[in-house]
Structure 1
Amino acid sequence: MKVILAGYPKTGTKTMAAAFTMLGFNNYDYMENYFYLHKEWMKIFDGSATNEDIRRMFDGVDSLTDAPTCIYWEELQEAFPEAKIILTTRDEDSWYKSLINQFETGNASFLAWIICVISPQSILRLSYSCHVLGRFFGDHAGWPSFKLRPFHEKVQRALFRQHNYNVLKKAPMDKLLVYNVSEGWEPLCEFLGVEIPDKPFPHKNKDAGVMKEMAQNNKVVQRLLLEGVISLSVVTVLVGYAGYKFCKSDACSKLVSWVSENVNSLRNADIF
């Protein structure tokens, strides 16, 4: 493990994931942890994972970004004491505005709903999702809606400040970089001891468009989306077939007759 990103969501975590990948690192972001390691993460969540368990989880992984990494950066750093830590920062007001925009965009996205709710793999990972999302953002409406309901603004801001303070206080100073993605390649590469790539520094998830971007480029998201579309199609066909069979049955004829008789009775009744 080369580097652990302890920065809070909406501080450039998707940009950092892209930057690490461009540097040749095997990076695990939210979706990789969610899809491949959700069972192992549940042990970290309940405190039963050992350092050996964590090292085994991330064998061959060079860098970690986004949630739940930033919540458990201390446990990860204990397992990988050689790893460097980066705290991505951002102006609090712009951070909060971006956070709310992400909420609204995600809750309104049919694509996100298919991936998070309809895919069988997502249903199997529901406990993982509830834990991670609940730690950051508050409550959610539950399956099958799964709309996020964020904490009160003051609580959300307090959590952001407390997280940053905790990292600054506890991270080993000789291994810590406080960094803003607007600084570009130079301070990042100098800290990591790597050469600056001959490519522009990436800027991802502008205007909360990460879901569409990942649907185009991320294999995990593409698989979940495909599963969701197939599941939705199968359910639609089954419901349609069940409706067709019912319409052809005697029960349907009896129901139609009963409704017709009762409607006529109500029409003739002097109740209005």
Structure 2
Amino acid sequence: MATAADYDRLGAWAVMLEPGTDIDRRTRHRTVPLEVLSLGMPRTGTLSMQEALSTLGYATPYHYVSIFANARDADMWLPAFRAKAAGKPFTRREWDQLLGHCGAVTDVPCVYFWRELVAAYPEAKIVLVERDEDKWFASIEGLLEGVLNPVAVYVLRFTDPRWFGRINNTGLQWIEAFFGSTNLAQAKRNARQAYRAHYAGIRATVPKERLLEYELGSGWEPLCEFLGKDVPGVAFPRRNEAKTIQAAFGMVLTKAFRHSLINIAVVVGIGAVVGGAAWRLAV
């Protein structure tokens, strides 16, 4: 049973401790304005930014962890990747379905679609958090190793297709899209160039008056000034993403194994019933 310490340790990742929802986003529409696009690459403080944006009153800021709360989101994310690859990216209508409950977004897979989101929501303000490239690379290596873990890729996404399979497939897609390969060694080789290209593209495209280059550690003031918000009376959230995600991966795999055992037991049980019925008919 999850404890208060588990929730505190996992932060936003604690959504996986809940039963989760089963919402088909394709049936939804926008209910709150999408006002902030936080477009820093993963492992640049995206968990801290999600918490900060939530504290500032933006409804349910979207982060990769959001898919753990509603795995059916993957049923739109995967077509979004395919549509972009085919040169027919989502329009505002589809984004309003998928992200219509969100007042802000951060992290993957959203940041991979930054061009589409910047164009679809011209009223949204852009926040860009960058990190020392060497520190970022050391951090993203751990994330890639977790998502591309052979047990996850070759076993659990098939034995737990409804939850972990959807989540891991989305992870494989953003890695392929950003880094050009789901081969771990190749993805690492391509990571630095992908990082530089991402930031260069945003800086070359987004008007300066619409963009805040925010440095983590600088507190609430520059962010609140840019967004037109009052400074909260609480400390700016500072999540250690490496430790948080390391703890989260352990719980993710535990949950996926538990689902897998149930699924395997069901299949074996059905097989036994069918086999028994067939044997009785044959004798």
Q: 2:207 aligns with which of 161, 169, 172?
A: 172
In the alignment, the residues of structure 2 paired with residue 84 and residue 137 of structure 1 have an alpha-carbon distance, to the nearest angstrom, of 26
Tell me the secondary structure at the aligned position of residue 127 of structure 2: strand
Structure 2 residue 175 is matched with structure 1 residue 133: yes
Residue 89 of structure 2 contacts residue 116 of structure 2 at CA under 8 Å; is this kept in 1? no
Q: Secondary structure at the match of 1:202?
A: coil
Could you tell me how far apart the structure 2 residues matched to 1:120 and 1:215 are? 18
Q: Deviations over 1:105-146 (max 9, x none)?
A: 566798999975643323246653332121234544xxxxxx
Q: Which has the larger radius of gyration?
A: 1
Counterpart pick for 2:230 among 195, 218, 226: 195
Matches of 1:181 and 1:187 in 2, distance apart?
Answer: 10
Structure 1 match to 2:57 = 24
Question: Corresponding residue for 2:260?
Answer: 231
Output the CA distance in 2 between the equivalents of 1:83 and 1:129.
26
Q: Residues 7-31 of structure 1, C-alpha deviation per residue, up to 9 Å, x if partnerless?
A: 1111111111121122222211113
> Which letter maps to 1:90?
R
**Is the deviation greater in 80-89 or in 182-191?**
182-191
Report the TM-score, using the length of structure 2 for normalisation: 0.68
User: 1:236/1:158 Cα in 2 relative to 1: closer, same or farther (>3 Å)?
Assistant: same
Q: Is the 8 A contact 2:159 2:264 kept in 1?
A: no
Corresponding residue for 2:74? Answer: 38
> Is the contact between residue 45 and residue 241 of structure 2 (CA under 8 Å) also seen in structure 1?
no
Secondary structure at the aligned position of 1:87 is classed as: strand
CA distance in 1, matches of 2:262, 2:103: 38
Please, what TM-score do these two structures have when normalized by structure 1? 0.70
RMSD: 3.5
The percentage of counterpart residues that share the same residue type is 29
Q: Which runs of 5+ in 1 are unaligned?
A: 141-147, 244-272
Indicate conservation of the 8 Å contact 1:10/1:95, yes or no.
yes
Secondary structure, in 3 states, of the residue corresponding to 1:197? coil
Give the total of aligned pairs: 231
Q: CA offset at residue 41 of structure 1?
A: 2.7
